[in-house]
């Protein structure tokens, strides 16, 4: 039987007005059977998320300070939603139970999880769906690692007994019965797990944007929405900071071949972005441009090493990477030439050990020239169509050359799915705009 799992973010459930939108979306499609809610988010820019309010109460309780006044604001938030929805429902017992637990055992994971728990109870009552506590089906081991196979098994068994259910996101319990949360944004992961367990036809992730955008709207004015993107492309863009979806949420559904649809609660008529398997059969309508997306990130440094006859010196690269490994530094990219090697690293990780690394590299590989350059930004141009489109890289560099932007580094993966370009941090935004003009705006003309 067809079914959809739908997850709604905090902004989608911030107040009663948003609850009504969510209810309309769910009721408009009988296949939307399993609902995963987040805790209420911000109603306006200066508002406080319920999860942050719960953290505050927990910290006060842990310091032996009376938190009743702070907790009253949380009860007021939920009771306000209940009143505005006009339903005969009470969370008073749950409020008292949570306060008692915080007084006796002020654990931050427990405190944070209660926002989703309470919202799940409320949404289930409003929809007339069964409430399924995530603590009964999402399982972590004693070290706090998700036990995916056991979780899938429990979730599948539990949901086979109910046709329509609300399962709060963000948390589960360890095998010892202690509440454990995912990292922030973890409701996405819960939704993905539920979709995998019930073998959903689609996992709809409802948020406050109409899908992934080709570029950051803070850099490019009104960028296009990406209609369809593969998991691999998403991974490349997410690495550069293009985040709409919790990264861990991809894997459970990716393995099962279940597509994810990013939708906008405030614009349900928009199709959003469909995230599909890497072998999906695309056409020109779903992929109208040569590239899929552009994303960039600042905060990188380059270790530039020069040495004559480097290419004939066995173990040269291994020695360089061992120095980084010994200093607990990972590398991002490593473009090289016959007598040159550049290693891209995160600036924050290298700053405190910069002198030590230079000293060790001089000792280990005896370079002719060695320097570390900071203030580098990396941008990724991603798209599965680039591989079979002639002149893509030429157009990319032409757009940067016309803007007089100096390219510091180039790296292209073997899959030809993306091209990574290093530029000065001050040039990053302009580089993104010029590439967008070249590949998106010009292809519309």
| pTM of the model as a whole | 0.85
302 plus 164 within the same structural domain: no
Spatial neighbors of 76 by CB under 8 A, at least 6 apart, are none
10 plus 148 within the same structural domain: yes
| DSSP strands (E only) in 46-154 | 130-131, 139-140
301 plus 173 within the same structural domain: no
pLDDT digits (tens, 9 = 90+) for 52-104: 999 999 999 999 999 999 999 999 999 999 999 999 999 999 999 999 999 99
Helices 50-62 and 108-127 cross at an angle (nearest 10°) of: 140
17 plus 164 within the same structural domain: yes
317 plus 183 within the same structural domain: no
pLDDT value for 63: 96
Query: What value does the mean pLDDT take over residues 391-398?
Result: 89
432 has a pLDDT exceeding 70: yes
Position 131 confidence tier, pLDDT thresholds 50, 70, 90 = very high
Q: What are phi and psi of 158, to 5 degrees?
A: -70, -45
Q: Which two tokens stand for residue 76?
A: 């007021």
Position 232 confidence tier, pLDDT thresholds 50, 70, 90 = confident
- The CB density around residue 10, as the number of other CB atoms within 10 Å, is 25
Among 73, 57, 55, which residue's Cα sits nearest to residue 65?
57
Q: What percent of the chain has pLDDT over 70?
A: 96
Provide the domain limits for residue 95: 4-198
Within a domain: residue 35? yes
pLDDT value for 340: 92
Domain count, the chain: 2
Within a domain: residue 224? no
**Averaged confidence pLDDT in the chain:** 92
Position 151 confidence tier, pLDDT thresholds 50, 70, 90 = very high
Within a domain: residue 277? no
């Amino acid at each position: 039987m067809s079914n959809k799992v739908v997850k709604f973010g905090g902004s989608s459930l911030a107040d009663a007005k948003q609850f009504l939108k969510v209810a309309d979306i769910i009721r408009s499609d009988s296949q939307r059977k399993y609902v995963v809610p987040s805790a209420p988010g911000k109603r306006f820019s200066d508002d406080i998320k319920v999860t942050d309010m719960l953290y505050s109460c927990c910290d006060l309780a842990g310091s032996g300070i009376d938190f009743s006044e702070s907790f009253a604001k949380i009860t007021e938030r939920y009771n306000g939603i209940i009143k505005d929805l006009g339903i005969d429902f009470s969370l008073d017992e749950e409020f008292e139970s949570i306060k008692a637990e915080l007084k006796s055992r002020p654990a931050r994971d427990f405190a944070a999880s209660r926002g989703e728990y309470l919202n799940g109870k409320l949404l289930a009552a409003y929809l007339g769906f069964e409430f399924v506590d995530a603590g009964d089906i999402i399982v972590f081991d004693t070290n706090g690692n998700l036990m995916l196979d056991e979780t899938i098994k429990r979730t599948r068994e539990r949901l086979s007994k109910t046709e329509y259910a609300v399962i709060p996101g963000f948390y589960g319990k360890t095998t010892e019965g202690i509440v454990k949360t995912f990292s922030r944004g973890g409701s996405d992961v819960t939704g993905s797990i539920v979709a995998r367990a019930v073998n959903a036809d689609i996992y709809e992730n409802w948020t406050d944007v109409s899908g992934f955008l080709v570029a950051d709207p803070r850099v490019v004015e009104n960028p296009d929405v990406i209609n369809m993107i593969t998991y691999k492309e998403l991974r490349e863009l997410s690495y550069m900071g293009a985040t709409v979806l919790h990264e861990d949420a991809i894997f459970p559904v990716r393995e099962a071949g279940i597509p994810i649809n990013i939708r906008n609660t405030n614009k349900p008529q928009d199709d959003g972005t469909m995230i599909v398997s890497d072998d999906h059969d695309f056409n020109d309508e779903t992929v109208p441009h040569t590239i899929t997306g552009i994303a960039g990130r600042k905060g990188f440094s380059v270790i530039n090493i020069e040495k004559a006859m480097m290419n004939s010196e066995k173990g040269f690269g291994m020695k360089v990477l061992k120095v980084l490994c010994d200093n607990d530094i990972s590398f991002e990219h490593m473009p090289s030439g016959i007598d040159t090697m550049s290693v891209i690293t995160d600036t924050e990780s290298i700053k405190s050990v910069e002198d030590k690394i230079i000293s060790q590299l001089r000792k280990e590989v005896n370079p002719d020239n060695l320097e570390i350059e900071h203030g580098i930004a990396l941008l990724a141009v991603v798209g599965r169509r680039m591989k079979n489109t002639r002149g893509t890289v030429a157009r990319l560099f032409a757009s940067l050359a016309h803007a007089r932007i100096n390219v510091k580094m180039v790296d292209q993966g073997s899959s030809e799915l993306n091209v990574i370009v290093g530029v000065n941090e001050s040039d990053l935004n302009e580089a993104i705009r010029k590439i967008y003009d070249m590949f998106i705006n010009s292809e519309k003309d």
